[in-house]
Amino acid sequence: MKTVMERISSNYKKNRIVLLVFSFLWIAAVTVTLLGYRNTMGKKSYGNSDREFTLEINKDTVISQTLKVEEGTDAVSVLMVTYARRNKGTLNIRVTDDSGKKVYADKSVPVSHIQDNAFLTVSLNETLHNQKIVVRLSSDCKGGEGINGEAPGVYCSTYNDFQGEPFTVNGIENEGSLCIRYLVPDEHMEQFYRISVASSIILLTIMMIVLLLLEPKYEVFFAGLALALGVVFMFIITPMSVPDEKTHYERSLQLSNRIIFRKGNTVETTYLDYAGFYGHHNNSGSYEKLLNEFSFPAKNQDEIKDLNRIPKYCYLGYYVPQAIGIATGRLFGLNMLKTFYLGRFTNLLFYVLCIFVAVRKTPVHKTLFGILASMPIFIQQASSYSYDGFIFGLTFVVAAYFLKWFFVDEDITVFEFAVAFVANQLLAPAKSVYCVFSFLYWFIPEKRFGTRLKKLVICTLICFYPLKILYEEIWKYRIKVHIQRIFGLAFSNPSDLLLLPAASGKTGLVSDWVAPLNEPYTFTYVLQHPMETIHLFLYTIRYSIKLWFYGSIGRTMSGLSLILPLRLVQSFPLLLLICSLRKEEHVEPIWLKALFAVLCIVSAMMTLFGMLLGWTSTQSDMIEGIQGRYFSPLLPYFFPIFNNGRITISEKADRYLIFTHIILMFITIVYILSYTFVN
């Protein structure tokens, strides 16, 4: 067996041309990316970011805002909106002094390049010092209704955030103000920027060197890549900004009481210090708090607070990894920030372990699984307190063991059965809509089990709990009650009158749910209005399917407020499609691909139906509350459908695909930093 140094020397001689090319491209990509965002990086922002209404900027509209800027201002950012249009034309941003005679910036931007719900930043030609400026927005675009227009828009606030300075539309003064931020170089922000970017470059460079010179096993490399990216995302995605992270954190905090043998729901108030954090928004103030307070000693932990009790229907299994990290921090007396990030890290470690197992066990799609598992939304959720990391990780494990048992002609060992069994049982109560994929195990060839009886026993054990979850969630609590009520049947069990708590937090009799117009849709309505329901589903899918698909990769990050550039996001599914065409030792038969497609559709429809009943108001013309990441666990089954024996890509392309993915993830990291510094 070759030593590490011998392997490095041998691979260097073999790959030195590729290494040289990769080095040049990597340096070029890093340089171009950093230069592209240089006007926002490492700065502190001031101004208004309230998003209450929008104004269209068409060829007949000129919008201006006067404001006074701080000492050292060198850039101005305006919060834009695209209205989901095919925007055409040019937007002009002009920044002058309050007399209009001196021009600090005059920039024309193709409207097609504007990012939705993101700040558009222009650099000033000189540094300003405590003086008034006027920002004017105009365009040559056609206006229109809804998505039919071409013009972009700008976010505005009803409050006058600039001390009485005029906000005008076509010269007429309006109430309120534009959403404008102005940027000032800041020592703390510059320090965080340098640390974050340097860490990202070092970690990703190490991963590329390992890929080319050590050529590790796929499971080792992709676990390492997920860990490296996860550590970076842990710090650039600010605390409490991930959807519902505050709730996930407090439930993990309460669960940690059981780990350290403390009774009740009381926790030390030092671990509830949320000052400087902003829910569902990546905000640079959190970076400053991290730099200033990370090394602080823990505050007085004698004071305790009783948190709200965890609901009885809440599944605590997916909070165990985070709770272990919090329990460790509490036992060692760490401060709130260190404890918080330790909980994020242990959640990430669980996800990385799942990816290691999944990539190791699957006989096909190793590159696809590894790159998919390190996509932006997967890494963000896994490196936060969200239970999505738990779900995503187990999804890969469940899919990997199915593929191994389906293709590899080996006996199923007791250990492998135990791992697959545990993974399926843990995933089932986490989200019932993903239970359907457990039933794939019934389609594994009988010869893999040895006997028909052994297959019956193993598949029954694996699928029994998922089936029980589906029965309780879909039939017992959702459908049965409504059918009995509609047809006047007697209730076999008084408890059947109760519904599971919905998103609104209300519980009660069925009759309490169907009367008010502003309540969620009910199964009764679905049965009585089948055509209207079908139309509602079709309209929602038609309007939202593209947003969901991009969201399942990571278009909307942080608390759905950080939207990645569309072209960047479009590159990720294209890369995954190419990975799915990789030549594999085994190819799924047509019937199995069809089964994958059917189960993906069934799971998606269950998601839509659940959000219809639990979240959507009867006054809405679309199903509400659905986010793209709800469909992320379907992707390990969706992309293998494209694998075939005709259009194939050599396995030698793996390192090029991985290299491309690393560059795209670096661009994502820099964009997130740029967005947050402005925000």
Q: What is the pLDDT of residues 370-401, one digit of tens each?
A: 999 999 999 999 999 999 999 999 999 999 99
* pLDDT recorded at residue 507: 34
Are 252 and 330 contacting, i.e. CB atoms less than 8 angstroms apart?
A: no
For residue 479, name the pLDDT band (cuts at 50, 70, 90): low
* pLDDT recorded at residue 500: 34
The single-letter DSSP state of residue 98 is: T
Residues 6+ apart with CB under 8 A from 288: 44, 188, 189, 192, 276
Residue with more model confidence, 669 or 114: 669
pLDDT greater than 80 at residue 100? yes
Percent with pLDDT over 70 in the chain: 92
pLDDT greater than 50 at residue 597? yes
Q: Which of 272-281, 513-522, 525-534 has the weakest average pLDDT?
A: 513-522
* pLDDT recorded at residue 576: 97
Percent with pLDDT over 90 in the chain: 59
For residue 517, name the pLDDT band (cuts at 50, 70, 90): very low
Q: Which of 16-30, 418-432, 462-476, 554-568 has the weakest average pLDDT?
A: 462-476
The average pLDDT across 37-47 equals 90
Q: How far is CA 375 from the centre of its chain?
A: 9
Query: Mutual orientation of helices 388-407 and 336-361 as an angle, nearest 10°?
Result: 10
> pLDDT, tens digit, for every residue of 132-182?
999 999 999 888 776 678 889 999 998 888 887 899 999 998 888 999 999
* pLDDT recorded at residue 481: 52
Sign (positive/negative) of CA torsion 26, 28, 29, 35?
positive
> pLDDT, tens digit, for every residue of 303-330?
788 888 887 778 889 999 999 999 999 9
Per the DSSP assignment, residues forming a β-bridge with 63 are: 137, 169
Residues 6+ apart with CB under 8 A from 73: 124, 127, 128, 129, 182, 183, 184
Q: Is 270 exposed, middle or buried (0-12, 13-18, 19+ CB in 10 A)?
A: buried
Q: Which of 194-208, 283-297, 304-318 has the weakest average pLDDT?
A: 304-318
For residue 264, name the pLDDT band (cuts at 50, 70, 90): confident
3-state secondary structure of 128: strand
Average pLDDT, the chain: 88
Domains observed in the chain:
46-185 (2.60.120)
For residue 493, name the pLDDT band (cuts at 50, 70, 90): very low
* pLDDT recorded at residue 175: 87
Residues 6+ apart with CB under 8 A from 259: 323, 324, 327
* pLDDT recorded at residue 497: 34
For residue 440, name the pLDDT band (cuts at 50, 70, 90): very high
Name which of 382, 290, 304 is nearest 337 in CA terms. 290
For residue 1, name the pLDDT band (cuts at 50, 70, 90): low
Residues 6+ apart with CB under 8 A from 581: 642, 643, 644, 647, 648, 649
* pLDDT recorded at residue 480: 55
- Which of 10-24, 296-310, 467-481, 592-606 is modeled with the greatest confidence? 592-606
For residue 498, name the pLDDT band (cuts at 50, 70, 90): very low
* pLDDT recorded at residue 488: 47
> pLDDT, tens digit, for every residue of 52-85?
899 999 999 999 999 999 899 999 999 998 887 7
* pLDDT recorded at residue 513: 35
* pLDDT recorded at residue 432: 85
- Exposed e or buried b per residue across 371-403, where buried means at least 16 C-beta atoms within 10 angstroms of its C-beta: bbbbbbbbbbbbbbbbbbbbbbbbbbbbbbbbb
* pLDDT recorded at residue 163: 80
The average pLDDT across 497-505 equals 35
pLDDT greater than 60 at residue 40? yes
Residue with more model confidence, 357 or 495: 357
